[in-house]
Amino acid sequence: MIDRTVWGLFAALLVVLGAGFIAADWAQFLLVLALAKGMVVLGLLVLMRAGLVSFGQGLWYGLGCYAAGMAGNFLGVTDAFLLLALGIAASTTVAFILGFLLSRYREIFFALLNMAFSMILFGVLVKTSVLGSTDGFNVLTPTFLGYAPSEAALGDTVFLLTAVISFVVAVLIHWYLGSTMGFIGEAIRENELRVEYLGVSARRAVHIKLMIAAALSGIGGVLTAIAVGHVDPEMTYWTTSGEFVFVAILSGTGSVAAPFMGSIIFEVLRTYAYEYSPYTWQMLMGAVMLLVIIFLPGGLWSALSRSRKGEGK
Amino acid sequence: MTPVLEARGLTKTFGAVTAADDIHVAVADGEIVGIIGANGAGKTTFVNMVTGYLKPSAGQILYRGTDITGRDSREITKLGIHRSFQIAQVFPDITVLDNVLVALGVAGDLPRTIFKPLRSPKTEAAADEIIARYGIGEYRNVKAGLLPQGVRKLLDIAMAMVGDPKIILLDEPTSGVSADEKLEAMRGLLKVLKDDKVTVLFVEHDMEIVGEFAQRVIAFYDGRILADGKPDEVLSDSSVREFVIGPELHRRSAGKD
Ligand SMILES: Nc1ncnc2c1ncn2[C@@H]1O[C@H](COP(=O)(O)OP(=O)(O)O)[C@@H](O)[C@H]1O
Ligand SMILES: [Mg+2]
């Protein structure tokens, strides 16, 4: 179980921790956001391994964000771990319910049905004035099992939490994908008829995958809410969901590390593109996507694994 | 004794076409039944109804006396009625070994499969044993989509046999195998199936193979059962010769097989 990938992830965790603690505050914050969103992308990886793409992951992400924000503002909950539990509960419960419908669909219908649900949530949030409508609202400062860090230490604490959770989640998903149940995704992508005639409900397997992806997105949402200190309906908007798909394709599905790597690259690119050429950001992203699709259809990760294989020969 | 599988008045219509017309069949445990019939006679439709791929328009299907009409393919598979397909259904982008590993892994309850690693020395040994039994060892690491048709069919059957079915329905198991290798392929396959004591229904166009391996033959014609009985009786029946065997010989001489 503790295989090369797990050691690799552990090494990556150490590198990220080292980099994050010496980095400037803004860079550390960027890393937190990238890792949090990387978890949403990891959820997409789970779906994409089963041949499914969702244009509505903002739904689960937004549920995580708002669950964290609302638990603080309405219930006075500030403990980050409790918020995480609530965020996961919110997103997976909704995924469990909607999953009965979503798991019947494949391909573009699946992608757009997810998007439709995310648009409904967006519409509801925008119309709900107690939740600040389009402005959203501020999230309370988190505490950590009774520890209330000073303002100066808050950033480091949130960063540490995010990095460690990313590591744990990546290992868990790595194990899941290596299990028979995880691998059923590949089987469904390749031949659903054969899956059914092996006695397995492809729909049920997809339902479970949906809930896993929702849980991951929920975690990403809670961490984002905590880190940013603010939530707004934009987090559930289809452009946010589109960005997750973008990063997922950029990253590739070759490894559970790929979404995090892709997400970090994406956030860095975006920051610099905004700074140096504020009006050409979309163009740059379009060009990057074009190059990846043409030259690295397996995503950035495939370039890494390809060069590693090359060395081995 | 209650038949292991029984069809009562099984009927399937597609618009104006009646693909199966009032089929009555009772199969005893352990029987090896050959199903013959010209193209379009309704053989696949029969297999599809029994295995839950198609819902019958009328009639009943019983498994050990229990009505299973209308249950979906998955439930029927779980009951122990497995099948292979006229066009082999495998996972094309993964190797033969991985195909079998998936089949082995999912034999059981879905939630529990999360604790079963797909690959382990134990599962790979079990998969290798299966691959060897079906004589496709040399293709172990070949992607299933790249296999010769005959081998792909064997893989399909091997996967269908995982999970110890009580009944297996094989839709043209040797199509795609060259004429001179058919007999040998079928002999190997049936030996494995007999060792597993599974009840077999196989659809076959080659009368030589039917005569050699079937203990009982059912001849379909135009959605109906034309004859049902011992191979020598059915194969020498005059209407079977006219409507089934004649067209088959014609088909073969036309080079379509
Ligand atoms: N899904 C379908 N839709 C319409 N007609 C069908 C369908 N499946 C089979 N048929 C028709 O039913 C008849 C029996 O087909 P089939 O069972 O495939 O025959 P066989 O397997 O004996 O060659 C044929 O006339 C075929 O055209
Ligand atoms: Mg047929």
N- to C-terminal Cα separation, chain B: 39
With the most atoms of ligand 1 within 8 angstroms of its CB, the residue from B11, B14, B202, B221 to mutate is B14
pTM of this structure: 0.88
Domain extents in chain A: 4-238
Cβ pair A183:B105 closer than 8 A: yes
The pLDDT, as a whole number, for residue A248 is 94
Nearest to A68 by CA among A48, A89, A50, A47: A89
DSSP letters along chain A, please? ---HHHHHHHHHHHHHHHHHHHS-HHHHHHHHHHHHHHHHHHHHHHHHHTT---S-THHHHHHHHHHHHHHHHHH---BHHHHHHHHHHHHHHHHHHHHHHHTT--HHHHHHHHHHHHHHHHHHHHH-GGGTGGG-EEPPPPBBTTB---HHHHHHHHHHHHHHHHHHHHHHHHHHHHBHHHHHHHHHHH-HHHHHTTT--HHHHHHHHHHHHHHHHHHHHHHHHHHHSEE-GGGGSHHHHHHHHHHHHHH-SS-TTHHHHHHHHHHHHHHHHHHH-TTSHHHHHHHHHHHHHHH-TT-HHHHHHHHHHHHH-
Q: What is the mean pLDDT of residues B69-76?
A: 89
Q: Give the residue with greater pLDDT, B1 vs A140.
A: A140
Distance of CA B171 from the midpoint of ligand 1 (Å): 13
The pLDDT, as a whole number, for residue B214 is 87
**B2 residue type, one letter:** T
Q: What is the mean pLDDT of residues B220-238?
A: 83
B116/chain A closest Cα distance in angstroms? 5
pLDDT in tens, A128-160: 878 877 877 878 888 888 887 888 888 999 999
The pLDDT, as a whole number, for residue A313 is 34
Name the range with the highest mean pLDDT among A300-304, B46-50, B182-186. B46-50
Q: Which residues of A touch B155 (CB under 8 A)?
A: none
B86 has a chain A CB within 8 A of its CB: no
pLDDT in tens, B82-124: 999 988 899 999 999 999 999 988 876 676 777 778 888 888 9
CATH 3.40.50.300 fits B1-80+164-257, yes or no: yes
The pLDDT, as a whole number, for residue A167 is 97
What ipTM, to 2 d.p.?
0.85
- Option in A184, A190, A193 nearest B106 (CB): A184
% of chain B at pLDDT higher than 70:
94
The pLDDT, as a whole number, for residue A309 is 53
By residue count, chain A amounts to 313
- In contact, A90 and A56? CB cutoff 8 Å: no
The pLDDT, as a whole number, for residue B257 is 47
Distance from C-alpha of B149 to C-alpha of B178, rounded to nearest angstrom: 10
| Residue stretches of chain A with pLDDT short of 70 | 306-313
The pLDDT, as a whole number, for residue A311 is 44
3-state DSSP call for residue B217?
Answer: strand
Ligand nearest to the CA of B46: 1
Domain extents in chain B: 1-80+164-257, 90-163
- Nearest-CA residue for ligand 1 atom 24 is B40
Ligand nearest to the CA of B23: 1
Which residues, 6 or more positions from B251, have their beta carbon under 8 angstroms from its beta carbon?
B38, B39, B205, B257
Q: Is the pLDDT of residue B239 over 90?
A: no
